[in-house]
Amino acid sequence: MRLPGPRRRRLACLVVALVVLLALLMASMMIGSTAIAPSVVWDALFHPTADIDHFAIRDYRMPRTIVGLVVGMALGVAGALIQALTRNPLADPGILGVQAGASFAVTVAVGVLGVRDISGYLWFALAGALIVTLMVLTLGSTRRGSSPVVMVLAGVCVGAVLGGVREVLQATNPDAFDAMRSWNAGSIVGRSLDLVWPILPFFAVALVLAFAVSGPLNAMALGDDLAVTQGVRVTRTRVLAIIALTLFVGGATAIAGPIGFVGLMVPHVARWIAGQHQRWIFAYSLLLAPILLLASDILGRIVMRPSEIPVGIVTAFVGAPVLIAMVLRKKASGL
């Protein structure tokens, strides 16, 4: 059976994206402060010995690569969700105040409660993200139900307030600022897999929810009224999408800190390739976002050898001009 043209093209592009992602996963193991041959990487993964390069791959590069993969996937789908939800092409996962909530909770944990390592403030980040999302949901609810515009406004306001308080806390406690500097910049250095395992179930739930609401979100792209006539329960869809978004962003931020641009840029690229169908956009975002994140991380590892640039800074440097170039060339993808 031959697949229809657009569908075949989408699938073919998806396979290409998958191949690129697999190549980047390998590159992330090989390229770093020192280059390690593919055969050594292979042996380290499948025939490990006490060789020092094997340790470097198994203990640092592999966990770092997996963290980049998981965080990238989460941010990518979160970006696609928030843009579909708000019907705003400039929306990113931070716009509902989720990242600000996570950052604020971590600042309190570090500055007030004296928590010093990431495994200690992981849950604070997730809780902060959830609490702020609930606040924004409440503030964004009008008498006629939830409104994307009011929700975004509420998110921006709450984010700004929390950001300000966070700055004050950090200014009065420089030690705390030092301790969370790397987390604040958005980095995947030194994150062990122990940080990822507890978050994975949340991501799994979020992914299921995202794909479950992809159909209703397609209908809602035409307007709430039209969606209602098609039997879509708008408020329920919105709440489920926000829960998924919070789990993705809260979890990713808990592990790596606030990483911008991935969730903003990737869904645009996904839409250019896949069109307006949310399920395809989510699928592409799932692959393209870790490609961007891992490529940025590799770049950050080699441009300032022997030091590194946090991936959150590289994604901004790489993502901004790329996005501008694509927007100028293709025009902004409609929503």
Partner 1 sequence: MTMTPLRRRGAALAALLSAALVLSACGGSGDDPNPAGPMRTVKAGNGSVDVPADPQRVVTIGNTTLPFIDMGGAPVGVTEVTASELALIPEKQKATFKAATNVGSSGDQVDMEKLAGLKPDVILAQLPDSEFAQIEKQLKSIAPTLFWGLDTEWKTLAGGLAEAANVTAGLSAQKAEFDKKITKIKETYRKVIDETSFVNVDRWESSDPGTFSIADFGCVEIAQDDIGMNFPKAADGQDPLGWKFLPFEQIAGLSKYDVITYPVDAEGKPKQAFAPVVETNTWKALPAVNSGRALGLFCAGNNSYGPVLQYLDSLDRALATLPAKK
For partner 1, the binding residues (CB under 8 A) are: 32-34, 50-53, 55-56, 58-61, 116-118, 175, 178-179, 181-183, 187, 189-191, 301, 306-308
CB atoms within 10 A of CB 156: 16
51: left (phi over 0), alpha (psi -120 to 50) or beta: beta
Nearer to partner 1 among residue 139 and residue 189 (C-beta):
189
Which DSSP letter does residue 61 get?
I
CA 70 to each of CA 195, 267, 318: distance values in angstroms, whole numbers, following the listed order: 11, 16, 20
What the block records as the tokens of 176 is 């705390």
When the beta carbons of 191 and 238 are compared against partner 1, the nearer one is 191
Strand partners of residue 142: 145
| Closest among 288, 290, 308 to 299, alpha carbons compared | 308
Shortest distance (Å) from residue 92 CB to partner 1: 25
295 HSE (CA, 13 A, CB side): 16
Minimum Å gap between C-beta 60 and partner 1 is 4
- Report, in Å, the least distance between residue 188 CB and partner 1: 9
Q: Which residue has the tokens 């592999």?
A: 62
Supply the minimum distance, in Å, between the C-beta of residue 255 and partner 1. 11
> Between residues 182 and 246, which has the closer beta carbon with respect to partner 1?
182
As measured in angstroms, the least distance from the Cβ of 200 to partner 1 is: 20
Q: Which residue, 37 or 90, is less far from partner 1 as judged by CB?
A: 37
* Least Cβ distance, residue 197 to partner 1 (angstroms): 17
Q: Which is nearer to partner 1, 33 or 229 (CB)?
A: 33
> How near is the Cβ of 50 to partner 1 at its closest, in Å?
6
Nearer to partner 1, 189 or 326 (CB): 189
SS3 percent helix, strand, coil of the chain, rounded to 5, is 75, 0, 25
Give the residue with the Cβ less far from partner 1, 10 or 301. Answer: 301
Q: How far is the CB of 309 from partner 1 (least distance, A)?
A: 11
Q: Is the Cβ of residue 158 or residue 259 nearer to partner 1 in the bound state?
A: 259
Distances (CA, A) of 305 to 34, 36, 300, 309: 9, 15, 9, 9
d(CA 51, CA 44): 8
Closest CA relative to residue 286, chosen from 244, 318, 327:
244
The minimum distance between CB 186 and partner 1, in angstroms, equals 12
Residues 60-90 as b/e (b if ≥16 CB within 10 A, e otherwise) read bbbbbbbbbbbbbbbbbbbbbbbbbbbbeee
**Rounded distance between C-alpha atoms, residue 309 and residue 312, angstroms:** 8
C-beta of 152 vs 195, nearer to partner 1? 195
Closest CA to 104 of 170, 48, 15: 170
